[in-house]
Amino acid sequence: MKTLKEIQEQINLAIQKSPSADNCQPFSLVWDDKALTIFHDDSRARHILNVNEGASKIALGMLAETFRIVANANEFGTEIIVKNGFGKRNSESAWLQLSLNENSFQEKLFESDKELVPAIQQRHVNRESYEGGFIPLQLKSWIEEQVVFTEKAKTKIINFMDNSDSKNNLLFNRIAENEAYLFSKGDIFSDISKWIRFKRSDAETSKDGLHWSQLGIKIIDIPSIMLLKKFPNLLNFLYPKVVKKIRVSETKKLINSSSSLVSFWCPDQSPMSFIEVGALAMRIWTKLNQIGYGVQPLSAMSLHSVLMQQESENKAKLATQEEQQLFDSNLDVLRQTFDESQSSMPLWLFRTGVTKSLKPSQISLRKDIPVQYITTTKVKELGITQPELEQAASKLKNLDKPKLQ
């Protein structure tokens, strides 16, 4: 049996592979015995499309599921506590606490979790064309079984190959329009392009963001992308004339190469809805990668539309009247296609399909995740009268040493 320190290190290593928007990796960790507190770094997550920290909240759910998989494979259950700082932009506020709990071990998931632990290290985004295929019936049944372990989140799948369905065609076209929107304005592209690494040496140094080869663009496009990165406001002129048509066309090709679209739904925008959707998506994503299926998130159509519909102030800053109408109707299209009620929220969406393995250079690198270790003795040494974890952790985060024993 592993020691507590060995389990902590195994969890840390797995969390390092947990996904985040543009691979910005905005979380830091503080261990206190069997409890792990997660802090959010707004300076890394700040993005014009990260409305109300929605993308970070989904990523937090994926991190939580990563913790739970490794914990359960070591015969520990996971206790989740949403902290008062959840969703706040102050980096001193804790968002979530995850604790190892011997009494809540999920025996039914033990074997599948053991298989998923090594698969976490291989999980990645694949923005290439796929080779079609169908999600096997056995895998569909497995996906449906995972929903049993959530209270709020659920998932639905449609077959991308059935292009004869008019509802599906409308959805496919709408997804392409939304993905093109990411290139519609200089300020949006500026926030995205800061995470693009054009040199492999830059990617190896930063170990975050995305190497250009991971974006599905061709080498012939690099000069244009570099020009737009330097002068992003050119998009304000080029998008309606040239870029939109190109991006819509390219996205449709990717969609047509896929096998299925997997959507994730919840009843509201509560903290646990984001966490459970992120957790369910992480589990299914990892499994799909494990059996040779690529995954590409399509958050513009799903998460971003949900957040923008709720935030009229942000919507006014980001969107023209035409684009606002696009966002407002996105949810109706998704609900009609997946036969969901008007109250149901499509927080996450991705395409999948059979694919070849990516080259090592096409898989995002990961920086060492910031980790601190504290003990009750260390808290007392720091002169903290009330030993609440986030107070101690906030003080420790500012110290030079990466770890305290």
The CATH code of the domain that includes 71 is: 3.40.109.30
| Residue 340 and residue 225 share a domain | yes
Is 179 or 133 the better-scoring residue by pLDDT?
179
pLDDT in tens, 252-273: 999 989 999 999 999 999 999 9
Q: Would you state the structure tokens that stand for residue 314, as one six-digit string?
A: 């942000």
Q: What is the pLDDT of residues 11-29, one digit of tens each?
A: 999 999 999 999 999 999 9
Structurally, the chain folds into a number of domains equal to 2
Domain presence at residue 141? yes
Confidence grade of residue 165 (pLDDT, cut at 50, 70, 90):
low
Quick one: average pLDDT of 83-103? Answer: 88
Using the predicted structure, report yes or no on whether residue 118 has a pLDDT greater than 90: yes
pLDDT of 156 strictly over 50: yes
Calculate mean pLDDT across residues 71-77: 95
* pLDDT surpassing 90 at residue 301: yes
Average the pLDDT over 78-106 and give the result: 89
Domain-embedded: residue 74: yes
Query: HSE-up of 227 (CA within 13 Å, CB side)?
Result: 8
**181 and 49 assigned to the same domain:** no
Closest CA to 55 of 360, 347, 376: 347
Phi, psi of 264, deg, nearest 5: -130, 130
Alpha helices, DSSP H, located in 262-320? 271-290, 303-310, 312-318
> What is the C-alpha radius of gyration for the chain, rounded to an integer number of angstroms?
21
Residue range 86-113: average pLDDT? 88
Q: Is residue 405 part of a domain?
A: no
Binned at pLDDT 50, 70 and 90, residue 151 comes out as confident
- Based on the fold, state whether residues 352 and 374 are members of the same structural domain: no
Among 64, 152, 78, 88, which Cα is nearest to 109's? Answer: 78
Pick 96 or 368 by higher pLDDT: 96
Is residue 75 over pLDDT 90? yes
Task: Report, as an integer, the average pLDDT of 68-85.
Answer: 95
With CA atoms as reference, report the closest residue to 273 among 56, 73, 57: 57
Q: Is the separation of the CB atoms in 349 and 297 below 8 Å?
A: yes
Please check the confidence at residue 185 and state whether its pLDDT lies above 90: no
Write out pLDDT tens, residues 346-379: 999 999 999 988 888 788 899 988 999 987 655 5
Task: State how far the Cα of 286 lies from the Cα of 74, in Å rounded to an integer.
Answer: 18
Residue 126 belongs to some domain of the structure: no
**Mean per-residue pLDDT for 149-159?**
85
Average pLDDT in the chain: 86
Whether residue 85 is predicted with pLDDT greater than 50 in this model: the reply is yes
- Whether residue 132 lies inside any domain: the answer is no
Domain assignment present for 267: yes
Q: Is the pLDDT score of 405 beyond 60?
A: no
- Judging by DSSP bridges, how do beta strands 196-197 and 210-211 pair with one another? parallel
CATH of the domain at 202: 3.40.109
pLDDT of residue 386: 44
Whether residue 208 is predicted with pLDDT greater than 90 in this model: the reply is yes
pLDDT of residue 199: 86
What's residue 311's pLDDT?
Answer: 63
pLDDT the model gives residue 387: 47
Q: Please report whether residue 129 resides in a domain.
A: no
Q: What pLDDT sits at residue 120?
A: 96
Mean pLDDT of 137-159: 83
Q: Considering only 100-104, 137-141, 332-336, 375-379, which range has the smallest mean pLDDT?
A: 375-379
Give the pLDDT confidence score for residue 383 in this predicted structure: 57
pLDDT of 239 > 60? The answer is yes
What integer is the mean pLDDT of 107-127? 92
Same domain assignment for residues 101 and 155: no
Angle, alpha carbons 334-335-340 (nearest 5°): 140
Same domain? For 230 and 351 the reply is yes
- Going from the C-alpha of 102 to that of each of 5, 73, 75, 171, the distances in angstroms are 16, 12, 7, 45
Note whether 380 and 344 are same-domain residues.
Answer: no
CA distance to 12, 138, 207, per residue, from 91 (Å): 20, 43, 21
Nearest Cα to 125, choosing from 207, 216, 250? 216
| Residue 294 lies in domain | 137-362
Judgement on whether residues 204 and 288 belong to the same structural domain of the protein: yes
Is the same domain home to 175 and 317?
yes
Q: Is the whole-model pTM more than 0.85? A: yes
- Residues 298, 315 within the same domain: yes
Residues 27 and 82 in one domain: yes
How confident is the model at residue 319, as a pLDDT?
63
Q: Are residues 188 and 156 in the same domain?
A: yes
| Residue 73, in any domain of the structure | yes
241 burial level (CB within 10 Å; 0-12, 13-18, 19+): exposed
Q: Based on the domain organization, do 249 and 334 belong to the same domain?
A: yes
